[in-house]
Amino acid sequence: MRGAAAIVLVASLVLGCGGPLPVRTVTIGGEPWTVYENGGTGMRGLPGFGDADGMLFDMGSEVDPTAVAFGMEEVGYPIDIAWFDAGGGLVSTASMAACDAPPCPLYHADGPYRWAIEAPPGALVNMGPTDRLVVGD
């Protein structure tokens, strides 16, 4: 283990539309967060975050924010989102409105990012430039 950089895999699973979503722990701003790992559809079709603090999206490498957008189609509740670069630095945040049916707005980061975290409204409101996301191997 590498202290705060270590990832703790949580044994529990949650059920989503595409089957079970694994749950893991990451660190944001020095605090542990229990997050779902994105199952491909984000929060679409899920009734809420349940016992998790949020949902983690890993793009695999930094992506152009104009090429990848987040939407809220078929998500009946608002969600906050934070985007982080490959080093874990905060890129930007947004509050996404619920959208039961298209057309729904699309949300883009303010710059290149690798990671995104979706969370309940207000969970990311105090994020600042010194807050970092730590995701282990």
Separation CA 112–CA 103 (nearest Å):
25
Separation CA 132–CA 27 (nearest Å):
8
Percent of the chain with pLDDT over 90: 65
The closest alpha carbon to 56, from 79, 85, 26, 32, belongs to 26
pLDDT tens for 98-114 read 998 889 999 999 999 99
Separation CA 18–CA 84 (nearest Å):
26
The dihedrals phi and psi of 110, each to the nearest 5 degrees, come to -80, -5
Q: Which pLDDT score, from 0 to 100, does residue 39 have?
A: 63
Domain borders along the chain are: 3-134
Statement: residue 136 has pLDDT above 90 = no
pTM comes to: 0.82
* β-pair type (79-84, 90-96): antiparallel
Residue 31: pLDDT band with limits 50, 70, 90 = very high
Furthest C-alpha separation in the chain: 45
pLDDT tens for 55-91 read 999 999 999 999 999 999 989 999 999 999 999 999 9
Q: Does domain 3-134 have CATH number 3.40.980.10?
A: no
Q: Is 83 helix (H, G, I), strand (E, B) or coil?
A: strand
Q: Is 101 helix (H, G, I), strand (E, B) or coil?
A: coil
